[in-house]
Amino acid sequence: MARNAHPELTQERIIKAATELFTSRGYDKTSMQDIIDATAGLSKGAVYHHFRSKEDLFDAVANRLMKTMSEATDKTQTQTEQDTALEQLQSLFSPERARKRLEAADLMFSKFNPKANPKMIGMEFIALVDERDDFVDLFNQGNQDGSLHVDHVEQTAEIFRLLTNMWLLPFFRRGTQTELRTRAACFFSIMRGLGIPLQDQGFSDLLASFGTNAKGNNKEKTESEGSR
């Protein structure tokens, strides 16, 4: 049998097929045979060569999706030492930086059905709560440079991660343009109440562009999107 010269491409093909099925149907209602059929040409042996079980394949898909979600609030190297913590946080919600992350996440989650994926949501929740990330350090920095006034740093970091990675974004919970714009306004109000005076500098309009229309289907672009 000829050796596969590009195993990473085969693996990506399997993950892509599994992602579409897991996110739309859910873990329990997707079988390995369903995934094999969705690869359009790969044999059962080829799929099992890369993933020994449905559980292994689900872990690969979940890790890919979680990485995509976490990148929605990932810090990049564009900040300088002169930037305050608030300025670094504010840049995360600038339309210029947020757009690419939202578009990438939307491609991954376009068929995501939250009610069919409690396992995936549970894994994401546990990961977000358990991991201590750079936001703890950033909030401490902000308290020192005077740009933030956070009383409970670790707990606020947990809230920040949960809201920005799960509640705020329109993938675990869809919404109309108006609902998403209101959700963004609520998020900024919560942050200000926690001592993080973020300002909405166009993020709510960007988020709303990923919303559904009044009937819950088809994305509508905001007026600002259409005028460009």
DSSP state of 72: G
58 compared with 171, residue with greater pLDDT: 58
Amino acid at 79: Q
Given this structure, which CATH class describes domain 63-226? mainly alpha
Q: Tens digits of per-residue pLDDT, 130-147?
A: 766 679 999 999 999 999
Q: Tens digits of per-residue pLDDT, 92-116?
A: 999 988 887 787 777 666 677 777 7
Q: Residue 184 is encoded by which pair of tokens?
A: 């963004």
Closest of 141, 135, 143 to residue 70, by C-alpha: 135
> For residue 70, what pLDDT is reported?
60
Q: Residue 102 is encoded by which pair of tokens?
A: 């939202």
Angle between helices 134-145 and 85-92 (to 10 degrees): 130
Percent of the chain with pLDDT over 90: 44
Superfamily (CATH H level) for 7-59: Homeodomain-like (1.10.10.60)
Q: Residue 39 is encoded by which pair of tokens?
A: 């690869």
DSSP state of 96: H
**Residue-range domain boundaries for the chain:** 7-59, 63-226
